[in-house]
Structure formats: C-alpha cells, structure tokens
C-alpha cells in the first residue's frame, strides 16, 4: 500500500494495525469492550506502547473475557501490578474490573454492541478529512457516549478516549481521504 494516513509511520506493527484493523467496523460485544479497555490504558501514553503490549494484556486479562474479569478482586489486582508485560497502573486495572461488571449489565440489558452502535444508527460515520490535522480529538457525540458510559459505571472513558475508540472500531471512518484504506473501510459498513 502506497498511500496511508500520516500517523502510521514505519513500524511494521503500526502499519499492520492501520491497514488491517483501525477503522474496520467491529460489531462483537467482547471485542468492542477489549478495545475500549485498551484505549483507557493508553491514556497518557502512546498507542504504539499499548499495541506492542496487546498480546501481554490479552494473556494477563484472561483474553479480555469480561465475565471472568468481573469476578476478580485484590489478588488479581496485586498479580497484575507485578506483570511487567502490561501497563501497571492500579487505577486502570481496578477500573477494568469495574468496567467488566458494567459491561455485563449493559450486555444483559441490550448488548454492548447495540448500546454503542445505536449512537450512529448502526452505520459508521463517513468523514472526509484530508489531513490528520482536521481530525478532532473529541466530538459532541464522543462527549455524549462518554457521559453515558460513565453513567453506566465505566471509568477511563473520557470524550477523547471514546473518540479514539470510535475511530479504532470503525464507528467513524477517519482514514484520510487520500489513504487507500478510506474507501476500503467505507465499503465494510453494514
């Protein structure tokens, strides 16, 4: 691929993430939750840091199975704080456990996927930004989703984190219009 978004850089892991995953619509409840949790862990760090540790996170957090994580307590928090393969931040680890419980409630009520995709009527918003400088850090919609997630009991899901999440899971198509992935991702919308 010759034309990519400017943020990609040269690292193979970043190129692969951009080309195959970022912006591709994700409709699986558990996968959506995993990506929201990872975006929360990214707060204050670079995404490449999280991406390089993603497999370690998956191993440490039981494959991001919220039904397993919801039952965790202090013993698991202590174990995770010793795991050098992940970001060892007590607040984020504890939030993940609480977020698993909140996920269970949303999932039982309507489905976490439905909860999120209803904000965009089930179809990705198709932006047409020419440069990443045009892409907002947050939008009124990400502010609303953040408020609703927090009301439902989730943490580490502020408006900027939520917008990055929306981009990652394809709720918005923020590939630059000159990027070869823009049109490819647009065609994947249900």
More confident residue, 135 or 2: 135
Average pLDDT estimate for 4-19: 95
Full DSSP string of 100-166: HHHHHHHHHHT-HHHHHHGGGTTS-EE---SSGGGS-S--HHHHHHHHHHHHTT--S--HHHHHHHH
183 pLDDT band, cuts 50/70/90, is: very high
Average pLDDT estimate for 123-141: 96
pTM: 0.96
């Amino acid at each position: 691929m010759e034309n990519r978004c400017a943020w990609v850089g040269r690292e193979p892991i970043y190129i692969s993430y951009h080309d195959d995953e970022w912006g591709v619509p994700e409709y699986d409840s558990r996968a959506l939750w995993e990506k929201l949790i990872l975006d929360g862990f990214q707060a204050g760090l670079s995404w490449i840091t999280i991406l390089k540790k993603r497999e370690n996170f998956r191993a440490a957090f039981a494959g991001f199975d919220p039904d397993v994580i919801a039952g965790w307590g202090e013993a698991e928090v202590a174990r995770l704080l010793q795991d050098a393969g992940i970001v060892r931040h007590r607040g984020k680890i504890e939030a993940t456990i609480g977020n698993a419980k909140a996920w269970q409630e949303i999932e039982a009520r309507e489905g976490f996927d439905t909860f999120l995709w209803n904000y965009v009527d089930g179809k990705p918003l198709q932006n047409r930004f020419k440069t990443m400088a045009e892409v907002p850090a947050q939008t009124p919609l990400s502010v609303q989703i953040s408020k609703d997630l927090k009301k439902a009991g989730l943490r580490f899901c502020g408006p900027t984190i939520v917008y990055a999440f929306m981009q990652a899971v394809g709720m918005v198509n923020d590939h630059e219009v000159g990027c070869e992935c823009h049109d490819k991702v647009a065609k994947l919308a249900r």
